[in-house]
Structure 1
Amino acid sequence: MGRIPRMITQSRARMNTVLLAQRGGMLGWVPVCLALGIGRYFSLRIEPHPTIFLWLAIAALALIIFSWRVPDALGPLVTGLSLCFIGFILAGARAHSVAEPVLGWRYYGAVEGRVVAMDRSQSDALRLTLDQVRLDRVPPDRTPKRVRISLHGAGTQGITPEPGLRVMTTAHLSPPSGPVEPGGFDFQRHAWFARLGAVGYTRVPLMGAGAAEDGHAGLMVFRIRMAASARIQSVLTGDTGGFAAAITTGDRSAMSRDALDALRASNLAHLLAISGLHMGLLTALVFAALRMALAAIPHVALRWPTKGIAAIGALIAAAGYLALSGGNVATQRAFIMVAVALAALLIGRRALSLRAVAVAAIIVLALRPEALMGPGFQMSFAATTALVAVFGWLREIEQDIVPKWAKPVFATVVSSAVAGLATAPIAAAHFNTIAHYGLIANLLSVPLMGVLVMPAAILAFLLAPLGLDWIGLWVMGLGLDWILGVAHWIAELEDARGYVMGPGPWVLPLLAHGFLTLILWQGHLRWAGGVMMVLSFVLWHGARRPDVLIADTGSLVGVMTPEGRALSKAKGAGFVARNWLENDGAGLSQMEAATLWVTREVIHLSGKRATAAMTECSESQIIVASAKADHLRGRNCLLFDPTTLKQTGAVAMRKTPQGWKITTARQMAGERLWTQWPKDRKDQYVRIKPTKSP
């Protein structure tokens, strides 16, 4: 045998050895492959033609059949490729299945609908989600199935909205907006999967348009939730009552902005979301209580499968908690993870293992592929995977390294540190902040959730039929008061919150792939995952923010300076300004950023008068107008006005030696099911070309 054939044979043998060593952990790679396909679907710039999904389904089936006939080592690779195709198909099928009409223009007029959800906006205004919508002079086939309206101003104090009530008001509505900057959070995509066809606000009172409906299961649960929230807040007032309502019913409408900011600054905001922590604590308490109660009866303990009965009881409690909390995506995800863990107990397997986490991830991705793109999915599965892996590694180490009396404390510290480290990069990437004292806050607060708050919540539920729920709620309030006190104390410390620049598009995928390789791969190649993680942080550190940002309405402009981003306005477009400054990793307020605005290269014309007064411009100038500037179109300067921005969305500009490199939100978001870009018209749209550097 020649040298080259021998080398090929040896390489194939080594590859077979490496791949066969992964056999015991292949299940963990199934959700990874599905996620690759889902991520590929969402990364496309053009919506795939339906026939592509058909061909991919045929290819996936053929690969699965082919995997049975190839050598053992190559089988998993072929199966993995088929799973990538399946993930792509799942994402496309989900996107088409939630298709509903989207409002294609700005609307002002009568709005009527049924209240199906209530929460609060970022400006702390009460916000209603309506279905069975009717709009004045809008045909049913073009009317959104759901709209969301914020109630602003004293004039909204009409009737009190309640679940199922038909209401009417006069409101401003518009299509869900695109990203505030190219590559930013895509609210259009989020609204598409939430089936929101329009968002807006009203400043006039609500009027009743029909009695609250009865008999609908979803509305009955909603009504029970709101009644429970009102009862809790009648016993526990202020932020304590709002906190208690949030973690039991999912109703956050009573939480003040000050309390929410303190919880975020101290890295305790995760306690508000009914997710894995709350669901895990509840089921653990119910499981332990039922098993202890059954064990106390000798006849039952000796003859009945007490572990299975306790697991079924805990699963029923978890399902009830899911319904009471409103069943949002995070809670559904937590329920699935808990259900998988309890099912493992029923069949005699370890409840918390990487296989259980993989099964939960597969179910979530199959049901809601879009969850992959959100921070909730990423953070919860990162934390769970890291915790299971670390405690699995610790079990392999000598058990006596920690004294028995110190093991609970050791487990609390390790779990808080591991979960914090696993989720910190994801939180920083999505929210651009790092809580420097988050570990201290969690060590002082999370144990209290398990030993006091959740047991007290269960006690209140059990005593509610007797009218004694106030006892459990009072105890619960003591724990929540402590947590809120810790949050405010941490938030007020100097440098409690740090700001991080937003990463580039490849940072999080590379970080996730490295993290999963480090945990799931069997053998020395797992350390390549650590290299990938380091590389992702290097890329993050080298990220560069745009030199110029332009809002999609022309209402705000931001120019990067040595002191930070200078904003063209101290007030107005606050949501856009806040997102730009956060993505820059700057701790500036909009007013502080406005004091830096001294640029002459970029001119912002705010309003019709200022736009009309600008009659000439030079080639070196960039003109941004919030009103139509047809009289400047075709001049030497680079012009962005509402006519242009309606076609492009938000704009980012970077200065290069060759001129301005311009990126638009339309280029980044592409032409997808959820994007609502107007059709190009030559009489309205002037194509943007790079200009020479001045």
Structure 2
Amino acid sequence: MRELAWVETALWGQRGHLFPWSPVCVAAGIGLYFGLRIEPGLTVYAVLAGFVLCGGFVSWRWPGAFTPLLTGLVLVALGVCLAGARAHRVEAPKLDFRYYGPVEGRIVALDRSASDAVRMTLDRVVLRDTDPARLPGRVRLSVHGPEADLVPGQRVMTTGHLSPPSGPAEPGGFDFRRHAWFLGLGAVGYTRAPVVTAAPPDRGELSMQIFGLRMAISDAIRARLPGDTGGFAAAVTTGDRSGMGQAALEALRASNLAHLLAISGLHMGLLAGVVYGGLRFALALIPPIALRWPIRKIAAIGALAAAAVYLALSGGNVATERAFIMVATALVAVLFERRALSLRAVAMAALIVLTLRPEALMSPGFQMSFAATTALVSVFTALRGRDTARLPVWAKPAMGVFLSSAIAGLATAPVSAAHFNAMAPYGLLANLVSVPVMGSVVIPAAVAAACLAPFGLEGIALHVMGLGLDWILAVATEVASWEGARRPVIAPGPAVLPVLSLGALWIMLWQGRLRWAGALPMVLALGLWSGAERPVALVADTGGLVGVMTEAGRALSKPRGAGFVAGIWLENDGDLVDQATAAARWPDPGEGLIRRFALEGGTLIHVPGKRAARAFEGCAPVDIVISTERLDGTCDIFDMRRLLDTGSLSVLPGPGGLRVVTAHEVSGQRLWNGATVKRRQYARLDPKVPTPE
């Protein structure tokens, strides 16, 4: 009873400060849904919905000291229901076999792939000899053929390779199938053939009209500002990154300035701030308006309208929607004369985002954005009222920029390292000399260019904008060239990031000295991260690539092919070498095409291709054989047929020796990775068709 009384006292002490915990509880429910290995049935959702209704009613009708605990459980159940409803609502047809042939569709999105190829997303897809009921809703094709003039809304035809979205490169890794499910992508692939026009642009829909306007603005900007500068300007204005080269992108990533490229909270906040400040200043110069009208609220309405236009022109992706909701929440708070920047406002924005797009919780953009915002608001709220009179006038804004960059950098560093397996030690310095330029030069110049464009006078403003972006690119290139600018980080276990986040949130949201108890889970998470171990062996889901851990690092079975998977493995190992270097580490190349690696109690044998399969002479019962062809033997054989069911493999140390873990075991049976699709894929599999890039 004494413990219950202590909990009751602690909860009473949090009254008035519990609302920011609401999105945390909803996020816990969403995370629970995505962590399940079996898709919940209708009965489960019915029980959870009943609990939400009954628990919500009890909390409202009979409030008490323990009501926050019941409310938290209700919100967790609500999070599971929201994620499940969203997953079923976005369900669309998926390609369930590997396809090569004519592809026809309407262009609804344009961007660039990791290989620096133009990539187009098509809807209203037509494939040869394919039942209309089985046609994917959308397909995404990387264009490796001759250059084509791709126009939004244009109906095009080409000959391409398509396949269903692939699973994780290794068990427990990023699941592209889940990502594609929520994007509505039913197939991905590439084409090396010319892309020809089948019909002129169809822009009858509002979304296509906005898409066409976006690309027209992007082309106009790149015509004024050529090269990476123009591509950077188009990216921060319309969200079109197709004009950015890979060298510039890598420099921005290595210097921790890649966030300036995405239209996120920084850009949306700067734009709204510039418009709000400019309108308020302009209205204050007119005494009749300044004395009779609420110019602060008028400026907030104008900034909200500008942010909405920016959202539409940027393509309305998830990151920009999230940024708009956060900015809109702050501006609406101004309209209702509430504090614009508070943890309640951040919590409200997070609740809206999670309600509209529960899957956003799993994206690094959501995690980094709200980590930075929550940390900034928490720290500056704690510093509010502190005496800064001793600082010189010029030092106050400089100190503000330094603190903002340092706090945001510290808050997002673990998330970035966990998702991208790298840290940028000089990122704080690069941000200190780049973010002020973005806020004081680039964004104001972009706003001025937008205002002057109807009169054909945007050239001067774009020139100023280009000077600011040239500075940022020069800083990124310089910092990226420094030794140790990009330091690899080993991939953490699945529990590390949730435990670390929970500890950080406890410190920021809990009131009183007990908040510092949040340091314990943070220390535990960092300890688990530092002790993370990588699999002894990894196998691609095609069987075409095997990677084994040696004293020198991961050794790969071949120097070329399956480069995307090889890159992910090496990144997760915290290894910056390329595939060819990793292939040279293989301890016993042996003779012929078959590769062997001695494991504890057996041998891992890689048999890639038909010639290797013909040369295969059998195996011992304790061996593990990986093959791209059908094989028979007394050992544990993973050939193409079996790999289609298991997905990628990892070999881990276990209590009785080594154990094989499959991607299907980790991912489970979910909407986006049904076994039926795999069986159909094998039935239509043509080994002559290369794997899509």
Quote the offset at 1:656 in angstroms.
Answer: 3.6
Match of 2:594 in 1: none
Quote the offset at 1:54 in angstroms.
Answer: 1.4
In structure 1, the gaps of 5 or more residues are 1-7, 686-694
| Stretch of structure 1 that moved more, 65-74 or 492-501 | 65-74
The amino acid of 1:659's aligned partner reads G
Q: Matched residues in 2 for 1:678 and 1:462: separation?
A: 54
SS of aligned partner of 1:652: strand
Q: Matched residues in 2 for 1:29 and 1:588: separation?
A: 43
Q: Contact between 1:104 and 1:676, CA under 8 Å: does it hold in 2?
A: no
Match of 2:642 in 1: 644
SS of aligned partner of 1:655: strand
SS of aligned partner of 1:200: strand
Task: After TM superposition, list the pairs within 5 Å mapping 1:84-483 onto structure 2.
Answer: 84-153=76-145, 156-157=146-147, 159-400=148-389, 402-483=391-472
Match of 1:623 in 2: 625
Q: Contact between 1:67 and 1:74, CA under 8 Å: does it hold in 2?
A: no
Match of 1:487 in 2: 476
Do the aligned partners of residues 611 and 516 (structure 1) sit closer, same or farther apart at CA in structure 2, a change above 3 Å counting?
Answer: same
**1:487-543 alpha-carbon deviations (Å, 9 max, x no partner):** 000000001110000000100110111111001011222111111111110011111
With normalisation by structure 2, the TM-score equals: 0.95
Q: Matched residues in 2 for 1:368 and 1:570: separation?
A: 40
The correspondence for 2:653, drawn from 652, 655, 663, is: 655
Matched-pair identity in %: 59
| Stretch of structure 1 that moved more, 284-293 or 57-66 | 57-66
Q: Matched residues in 2 for 1:562 and 1:11: separation?
A: 51
Aligned: 1:65 with 2:57 = yes
Q: Matched residues in 2 for 1:646 and 1:399: separation?
A: 63
| Stretch of structure 1 that moved more, 638-647 or 665-674 | 638-647
SS of aligned partner of 1:93: helix
Q: Matched residues in 1 for 2:73 and 2:403: separation?
A: 36
Quote the offset at 1:431 in angstroms.
Answer: 0.3
Q: Contact between 1:612 and 1:629, CA under 8 Å: does it hold in 2?
A: no
Q: Matched residues in 2 for 1:259 and 1:437: separation?
A: 17
**1:102-155 alpha-carbon deviations (Å, 9 max, x no partner):** 1111011111100000001111111100001111111111101100011113xx
SS of aligned partner of 1:47: coil
Q: Contact between 2:99 and 2:161, CA under 8 Å: does it hold in 1?
A: yes
The amino acid of 1:618's aligned partner reads A
Do the aligned partners of residues 390 and 203 (structure 1) sit closer, same or farther apart at CA in structure 2, a change above 3 Å counting?
Answer: same
Task: After TM superposition, list the pairs within 5 Å mapping 1:453-602 onto structure 2.
Answer: 453-599=442-588, 600-601=597-598, 602=604
**1:215-273 alpha-carbon deviations (Å, 9 max, x no partner):** 21001000001000100010101100000000001000010000000000000000000
Q: Matched residues in 2 for 1:40 and 1:483: separation?
A: 40
Q: Matched residues in 2 for 1:439 and 1:60: separation?
A: 44
**1:152-177 alpha-carbon deviations (Å, 9 max, x no partner):** 13xx33x4110000011111110000
Q: Contact between 1:148 and 1:199, CA under 8 Å: does it hold in 2?
A: yes
Q: Matched residues in 1 for 2:61 and 2:306: separation?
A: 46
Q: Matched residues in 2 for 1:204 and 1:676: separation?
A: 32
Q: Contact between 2:334 and 2:340, CA under 8 Å: does it hold in 1?
A: yes
Q: Matched residues in 2 for 1:233 and 1:543: separation?
A: 45
Q: Contact between 2:537 and 2:549, CA under 8 Å: does it hold in 1?
A: yes
- In the alignment of these two chains, the number of paired residues is 668
The amino acid of 2:91's aligned partner reads A
SS of aligned partner of 1:23: coil
With normalisation by structure 1, the TM-score equals: 0.94
Quote the offset at 1:16 in angstroms.
Answer: 1.8
Aligned: 1:36 with 2:28 = yes
The correspondence for 1:672, drawn from 670, 674, 677, is: 670
SS of aligned partner of 1:122: coil
**1:36-92 alpha-carbon deviations (Å, 9 max, x no partner):** 110110000010002211111111111112223555211111111111111110000
Q: Contact between 1:114 and 1:166, CA under 8 Å: does it hold in 2?
A: yes
Which is bigger in relative contact order (C-alpha 8 A, separation at least 6)? 2
Q: Matched residues in 1 for 2:203 and 2:654: separation?
A: 63
Q: Matched residues in 2 for 1:181 and 1:671: separation?
A: 17
The correspondence for 1:612, drawn from 611, 614, 618, is: 614
Q: Matched residues in 2 for 1:667 and 1:12: separation?
A: 40
Q: Matched residues in 2 for 1:101 and 1:447: separation?
A: 46
**1:641-669 alpha-carbon deviations (Å, 9 max, x no partner):** 21111110000001345122111100111
Q: Matched residues in 1 for 2:315 and 2:658: separation?
A: 48
The correspondence for 2:12, drawn from 12, 20, 27, is: 20
Q: Contact between 1:559 and 1:566, CA under 8 Å: does it hold in 2?
A: yes
